[in-house]
Amino acid sequence: MSVLPEAFYLPADDGGFEPTRATQSLWDPDAQHGGPPTALLAHVLDGSAAAGTRMARISVDFLGPIPRRPARVAVTELRPGRLVRLAQADLVIDGRAAVTARAWYIATGPTPPVETPSAPPPPVPSAPDRPQTVASSDFGYGQAIEWRFTESDAPGTTGVWTRVRVPLVAGQDLTGLARALIVADSANGLSLTLPPDRWLSIPPTMTATLLRPPTGEWVHMECRTHLSDDGLGLAEATLRDPKGLLAEVAQPLLIRAR
């Protein structure tokens, strides 16, 4: 495995961000995987959030291939509020929005009187003799995550523990929210039903509904892909840490033969 970059993004002097090789997509070496931009937009949105609120849902639209070029983030307040708030962040590259994210924030409050039981995932497997990868290709994003697979009972289903190896932004601590969102957009790629050398499986958007941020370094993904009979698909993932449920992820899919 080649030496990892310092982070997914380097802060630029103009307030923007320079993507590193850690953002590199499997499909195009000059494009970014959807996970790092999703986490970056959420990170910037969190910086504008009021104290005592937490991101409860983020919907991210990928408006085309995401160039691995310098970017800036523009934030727009869509629905101010004390208890609920809606904000938008755009990843602007070469003068146009390449990714748009909308996030709902909800105010935190006292602990409810009922505790919801949540089944924990399987334990993290011991480190294999050789690092596990998500594909045979050598690509930056795949190397920036540690993958330890727990199950793959049938085509279209996969269980895997993930650990992000580098910070999201150089010089800044990696938050639990970033750990979850960097890997959330991998649900489709992890649970492919059809061989990727012969079939396209493209998610134009991704929605993550968040119960809480993870504690610790590891996030488990239980991924599933379902196909319709008219060329659409749905990829889903349940995210957990050792304490239980973290989030639910959904991605609609364009399914086409290459």
pLDDT in tens, 21-56: 999 998 889 999 999 999 999 999 999 999 999 999
Mean pLDDT of 185-197: 93
CB contact at 8 A, 41 and 89: yes
Mean pLDDT of 144-148: 95
pLDDT of residue 153: 64
Say which amino acid occupies 231. G
CB contact at 8 A, 43 and 71: no
pLDDT of residue 132: 57
Cα–Cα distances (Å) from 42 to 72, 93, 130, 136, in that order, read: 13, 17, 33, 30
What are 205's two structure tokens?
């958007």
CB contact at 8 A, 72 and 40: no
Say which amino acid occupies 251. Q
- Is the torsion defined by CA of 246, 155, 161, 22 positive or negative? negative
CATH number of 9-108+128-257: 2.40.160.210
pLDDT in tens, 45-100: 999 999 999 999 999 999 999 999 999 999 999 999 999 999 999 999 999 999 99
pLDDT of residue 26: 86
User: Residue 117 — very low, low, confident or very high, per pLDDT cuts 50/70/90?
Assistant: confident
Beta bridge partners of 115: none
Kindly calculate the radius of gyration of the chain based on its CA atoms and give it in whole angstroms. Answer: 18
Gap between the Cα atoms of 42 and 251, Å rounded: 17
Using a pLDDT cut of 70, give the percent of the chain over it.
Answer: 95
Domain ranges for the chain, please list them. Answer: 9-108+128-257
Gap between the Cα atoms of 91 and 72, Å rounded: 6
Gap between the Cα atoms of 176 and 77, Å rounded: 24
pLDDT of residue 137: 45
Q: With a cut of 50, say whether residue 136 has pLDDT above it.
A: no
Q: Tell me the whole-structure pTM to 2 decimals.
A: 0.94
What are 142's two structure tokens?
């795949």
Average pLDDT taken over every residue of the chain = 93
Spatial neighbors of 180 by CB under 8 A, at least 6 apart, are 208, 210, 213, 214, 219, 239, 246, 247
CB contact at 8 A, 208 and 181: yes
Listed range (13-22, 109-118, 127-136, 179-188) with the worst mean pLDDT: 127-136
Mean pLDDT of 112-140: 77
User: Residue 192 — very low, low, confident or very high, per pLDDT cuts 50/70/90?
Assistant: very high
User: Residue 167 — very low, low, confident or very high, per pLDDT cuts 50/70/90?
Assistant: very high
pLDDT of residue 120: 86
Angle, vertex CA 183, rays to CA 195 and CA 229, nearest 5: 40
In the chain, beta strands by DSSP E: 9-11, 17-19, 53-62, 72-79, 84-93, 96-107, 145-151, 157-164, 199-202, 205-210, 218-227, 232-241, 244-257
